[in-house]
Chain A
Amino acid sequence: MGILEIKNVGKRFGGLQALSNVNLSVAENTVHAIIGPNGAGKSTLLNCLVGKLIPDSGSVMFDGQSVLGRAPYEINQMGISRVFQTPEIFGDLTVMENMMIPCFAKRDGAFELNALPSVRNQKDVVEHAMHMLEEMRMADKRHMHAAAMSRGDKRRLEIGMCLSQEPRLLLLDEPTAGMARADTNNTIDLLKQIKEERDITIAIIEHDMHVVFSLADRITVLAQGTPLVEDSPEKIKGHPKVREAYLGESA
């Protein structure tokens, strides 16, 4: 029984069957990559997991509880954090404030009218955020406006923000898309480190095979909205069906 159980999920947009009969199980404390050609339904599937879309059929269970019909913030509070393709951070706020917000969300839940005490006096949150910034090696940038940082730094900050909530499942949506090789390798190292140091399950959608094969314990290949094969990276590499769907080679 995996921490994330996707059963028979289907989703239709008008005439397009984006997902059909998706069954997927993500085991705890593993890195599970979902790969597939463009239009295979990877992003749709991800959106079904975080509450942005509601599938037409099937079930999505996280740690024994259904996530369907819950709002994104509720799903996050259950322990699922998401990293976006283009970093989604609070651009108008400072790096420190960016990091404090998830720390508050971790401490206070979805809403807390904490309107009179000063942020400075919330010692536990300040320490937590500072600790996370140090771990992400961005403490020296804490007074910067987040929007002014480089893309690699924004990505690092976003991952840090997600980790500060101590999620049990981290969803990564093409975390290295549009990155230079050096930034990509840095991100891979960061993710490897996270995987080693924490009890965390990671599900990653990725185009870049280099990233996938450096990180994944298990790979699912999605094609035309349905899982083609699921196996270990070594097996996937040579799998004829994958080559056919992914590389367009005939088997």
Chain B
Amino acid sequence: MLGLDKKDTSLLVIVAILTLLAPFILNPFPSGSAMAQFNAGYPDLMQRFVIFGIFAIGFNILFGLTGYLSFGHAAFLGVGSYSAVWMFKLFSYNVIPAIALSVVVAALFSLLIGYISLRRSGIYFSILTLAFAQMSFALAYSVLSNPKFNLTNGETGLQVYADDPQLFHRDSLPDMPHLFGLSMRSTYHLDIGAWSFDFNAGYYLCAVIMMVMFYLAIRIFRSPFGMMLRAVKSNQQRMNYTGLNPRPYTLAAFVISGMYAGLAGGLMAAMDPLAGAERMQWTASGEVVLMTILGGAGTLIGPVLGAGFIKYFENIFSKINDNILHQWFSFLPDGFEDFMVFIVHPFIGKGWHLTLGIMFMLVVIFLPGGLVEGGQRLGNWLRNRGKGAAEAKTKQEPAE
């Protein structure tokens, strides 16, 4: 189907079903119950899942296939956000032109940065992209925000004001980002018994775009171009002596992943019309690296898993506080209860980054293939165990 083989088609279908049914899947607990805090099916968080999913899918095309580790991809995301907000300010709140512009601007920007950074490889490349990202951050945070020339609105962040031109805005249209009149914030609540589910227009727009981008990523992975990118990672010397020029291949991968990042940035602005410089900081670039590695770099589904995993736990962990911990451990004797709360406390709430850092180190050390490899190992182990049991049985049978 759609030019994919059976395995890829079923992967795509699974991802499609999961994203479309996410409002149900992520809200498994009745809204009044104590477990409701683990629900993740509210629009804001679901949007973040898919937007970061897009970001990570794109990053994986560069890092997973070519092995070039960029520490500057947040810059493209930021540029995408700024472009989208400018589109809102100048023309209209319609998200389509805004998103289109963010992709185009991110493409141009990544072409420039990629052209320079890719003159070097390995660690030099990582440091160059890091330097570019920090420079972009400084530019957005202060340099391009002065009374004479205010492109980014500095610390406050770029947003839409009442006196902005908005040339194509009509009173009949919603006063926030919309898709031909359908506001991105419009949400349909569905109550079934004790459960409640939210179906948000913005989420579904992001979800559909993510599926398209995921589909494109599969096509790229399976294409001759994707094979060339893996060849870049494997042996550039042989590639050169096989009559292939690695640089345009890598540059194309860089620009494509930059466009994915720009798209994610544009969508972020479309969900909430605000763009801030902190989106471009190198820790933000580090986050997408993390998602990709955690899920499994170089695999199709890994980055999506990683993005969902990190955003979900970021949300849950940040919400847990000592009171909740005391509830959890209340079955333990008093002393133990306090001790457990004391032990767990540094890792929750504001300590989420500590948990994240530790998790990240553990994955790099023990599971370089990420969650996907972990799943495969688990699967193999179970299968072997099953097989082992079956073999043991067949061995016994003749004796009977």
Contacts and interface: CB of A to CB of B under 8 A. Distances in A.
Interface string A75-107: 011000110100011111100010011101110
A104 B240 contact: no
B240 A117 contact: no
A114 B224 contact: yes
Interface residues of A, number: 40
Interface of A: 50, 71-73, 76-77, 81-82, 84, 88-93, 97, 100-102, 104-106, 108-122, 125, 161, 165
B243 A105 contact: yes
A106 B242 CA distance: 9
B243 A119 contact: no
24 contacts: A72-B241, A73-B240, A73-B242, A92-B230, A92-B233, A97-B227, A100-B224, A100-B227, A106-B243, A110-B248, A111-B249, A112-B224, A112-B225, A113-B225, A113-B252, A114-B224, A115-B225, A116-B216, A117-B224, A118-B3, A118-B222, A118-B223, A121-B3, A122-B224
Interface in B1-60: 3-5
A39 to B, nearest CB: 23
Q: How large is the interface on B (under 10, 10 to 19, 20 to 34, 35 or more residues)?
A: 20 to 34
Contacts of A108: 224
A47 to B, nearest CB: 11
B231 A73 contact: no
Given A92-B230, A93-B231, A118-B223, A105 B244 contact: yes
B223 A117 contact: yes
A111 B242 contact: no
B228 interface: yes
B227 A110 contact: no
A104 B230 CA distance: 14
A90 B231 contact: yes
Highest count of chain B CB atoms <10 Å: which of A84, A102, A106, A125: A102
Most chain-B CB neighbours within 10 Å: which of A109, A110, A122? Answer: A110
Contacts of B239: 73, 101
B235 interface: yes
B238 A89 contact: yes
A1 to B, nearest CB: 25
Given A112-B224, A116-B223, A90 B245 contact: no
A90 B240 contact: no
Listed residue (B220, B243, B244) with the most chain A CB atoms within 10 angstroms of its CB: B243
A119 B238 contact: no
